[in-house]
């Protein structure tokens, strides 16, 4: 069943949506996620989908998979590895994505391919941010070089996580919001198109 629905807000990227609806799904609601996601990506012109993953505390298993358009984020919670039938549904879902993009994508695709049992392709936005200057090699820094009104520092703060882990096992380390990372990635690609930065997605 659908776990919960929340909202993300942003004021750091001018000209982009100020909010996005985030829907969380359990593995048992995978069919519902697929239907909602297909409706979102087919509701307008072909768009890039941002992807981000959260790993389980132990090992290299994916714990949360976040997929985002410019105004919607879909998060699949994976407390255990998906069944063969669920893997098939996920492969079909990804086959409908024309332009999949992420940061550190080479790492993400290895984990996705292992989880789904098939190859996953997309575009690594990290390659566009490569620079000898550390401040421009971040999501916020790179966008700021293309549009000075982009709040680079705030983007990077939110990207790295504003909230701190709590509880007995707290390490005081900021907790990244993977839904937000996927959403910012989707908007990032839109901005790259807007400022005529060439991106060549694999076919």
Residue by residue, DSSP assigns 110-179 as: HHHHHHHTS----EEGGGGG--SSGGGSSHHHHHHHH-TTS-HHHHHHHHH-SEE--STT----EE--HH
Checking phi first, is residue 49 left (phi over 0); if not, alpha (psi -120 to 50) or beta? beta
**Domains of the chain, CATH where assigned:** 2-194 (3.30.420.10)
Quote the pLDDT of residue 193.
66
Q: Which residue has the higher pLDDT, 134 or 164?
A: 134
pTM here?
0.86
Q: Which two tokens stand for residue 149?
A: 């009104």
Residue 3's contacts (CB-CB under 8 Å, 6 or more residues apart) are 24, 25, 26, 29, 77
Residue 6 pLDDT: 94
52-74: pLDDT as tens digits: 999 998 878 899 999 999 999 99
Q: How far, in Å, CA of 61 to CA of 54, rounded? A: 9
pLDDT for the residue numbered 169: 44
């Amino acid at each position: 069943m659908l776990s919960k629905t929340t909202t993300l807000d942003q004021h750091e990227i001018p000209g982009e949506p100020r909010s996005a609806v985030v829907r969380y799904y359990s593995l048992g609601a995978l069919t519902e996620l697929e239907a909602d996601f297909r409706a979102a990506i087919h509701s307008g012109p072909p768009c890039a989908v941002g992807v981000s993953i959260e790993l389980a505390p132990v090992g290299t298993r994916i714990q949360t998979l976040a997929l985002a358009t410019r105004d919607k984020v879909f998060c699949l919670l994976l407390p255990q590895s998906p069944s063969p039938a669920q893997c098939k549904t996920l492969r079909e879902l990804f086959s409908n994505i024309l332009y999949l993009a992420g940061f550190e994508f080479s790492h993400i695709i290895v984990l996705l391919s292992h989880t789904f049992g098939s190859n996953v392709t997309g575009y690594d936005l990290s390659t566009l941010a490569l620079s000898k200057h550390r401040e421009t090699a971040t999501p916020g820094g790179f966008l700021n070089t293309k549009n000075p009104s982009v709040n680079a520092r705030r983007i990077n703060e939110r990207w790295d996580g504003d909230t701190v882990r709590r509880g007995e096992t707290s390490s005081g380390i900021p907790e990244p919001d993977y839904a937000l990372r996927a959403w910012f990635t989707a908007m990032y690609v839109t901005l790259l198109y807007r400022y005529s930065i060439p991106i060549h997605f694999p076919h």
